[in-house]
Structure 1
Amino acid sequence: MTGLTVIALAVIGFFAFQASAAQDRAEKHTPSAPESSPSSKDSSSGKAEDSKALPADSGRGTRVVYALGRERVWLVGKGNKVQRTYRVVPSTVSPSPGTYKVTSRSSQITGSDGVPIENVVRFADVDGVTIGFSAAVDGSMPNQDPGRKTGGIREKRADGEAMWVFATIGRPVVVVR
């Protein structure tokens, strides 16, 4: 075989492995119920608001919703039904509010902060910084250095697993304030 053929077969094998692993995880995954919803004070409007309620301005259809100010994600399925919601640790670089799509995914890599991460779901690029959701393999959450540009929105491992199963390539990601 030529060198290019060997490389092509290796790449195909790698993608087949990733697809197989994602399918195995999808078959084993049962979405957990949305978190309970105690009320809290919304600092931007000064009125009481359910901090876990899906933002009104977050679109329609099956999508991921990321609220910058609330540091929260919603996985929204058919019928505008929230399948899961959870808190995240934001990156130091944030996307502008708007609608994006999942552009790429990686099952395991090393994050820009040097920490091994898994279930990476990328959806935006801001000033050369790639923005996406991920979970640290060791379960740690970052202590953000505001002087360092990072795009990883960190999740707990179980939340990262749910995101991985839900947010396939092309899935809309709606970012709201």
Structure 2
Amino acid sequence: MPVPARLPSWVWVTGLTVGAVAAVAALAVQADRGPHPAPTAAASPTPRPSVSAPASPKPTPTVVPDGSGVGRRIVYSVAQHRVWLVDASDAARRTFAVWPGTIAPDAGSYTVSLRNPGVITGSDGVKIEHILYFGKKAGVNLAFSNAVDGSSPPPAPAGTGTGGIRLRTADGTALWAFGTTGTKVAVVD
């Protein structure tokens, strides 16, 4: 009886690698079809539990809100729970939905005053990164950040004031690259 030829190890490694890549691709497709977090209800100075947005997606507004100024800036709409990254020619380069904290900034003009790239624990107990501080209200810092694990913030306990405006991870990375110290932040209703 002839002895079967033995396959070289590189054939096994290649086969396993191809199988792993196919499995990851299949899982990524399934994850993309699953539920995605939705922005919470409007924030106000009075803390209240978060409420999810309707399941049907709205068209992404690309038009920068009126009254947000001119030039390169970050625009945050409290009512729309949305941020725009606007270049020097007043064109929106990116826009995305956010989860507001329980303390909403007043409409007006701010600047990014401090950047913290490191991982810290937010007031909601979640590890956050890419923190851009731009103001303070009622003794609470107002800042953009994203959760390290990409999660949305849990509802704040009654009586807790949170000023963090949470972003998805990719949006947090984009905002971090755009929002250098001194960048204008326009807050509109």
- The two structures have a TM-score, normalised by structure 1, of 0.70
Name the structure 2 match of 1:69.
79
Higher share in strand: 1
Determine whether 1:78 maps to 2:75. Answer: no
Q: Deviations over 1:90-125 (max 9, x none)?
A: 010111000000011111211111111010001010
Name the structure 1 match of 2:47.
none
Name the structure 2 match of 1:130.
141
Q: Secondary structure at the match of 1:175?
A: strand
Contact 1:102 1:123 survives alignment (8 Å): yes
Distance 1:140 1:79 in 2: 33
Q: Count matched residues.
A: 129
Name the structure 1 match of 2:68.
58
Letter in 2 for 1:144: P
Q: Deviations over 1:31-75 (max 9, x none)?
A: xxxxxxxxxxxxxxxxxx974421011110000000000000000
Distance 1:112 1:168 in 2: 23
Determine whether 1:160 maps to 2:172. Answer: yes
Contact 1:103 1:122 survives alignment (8 Å): yes
Determine whether 1:87 maps to 2:102. Answer: no
Unaligned stretches of 5+ residues in structure 1:
1-48
Name the structure 2 match of 1:37.
none
Distance 2:61 2:177 in 1: 25
Contact 2:62 2:92 survives alignment (8 Å): no
Distance 1:134 1:53 in 2: 23
Determine whether 1:112 maps to 2:118. Answer: no
Largest Rg, 1 or 2: 2
In angstroms, what is the RMSD of aligned CA positions? 1.5
Q: How far apart are residue 147 of structure 1 and its match? A: 2.7
Distance 1:99 1:70 in 2: 17
- Between the two proteins, what is the percent identity of the paired residues? 46
Distance 1:78 1:51 in 2: 19
Contact 2:142 2:163 survives alignment (8 Å): yes
Letter in 1 for 2:135: A
Unaligned stretches of 5+ residues in structure 2:
1-58
- The two structures have a TM-score, normalised by structure 2, of 0.65
Q: Secondary structure at the match of 1:161?
A: helix
Q: How far apart are residue 127 of structure 1 and its match? A: 1.2
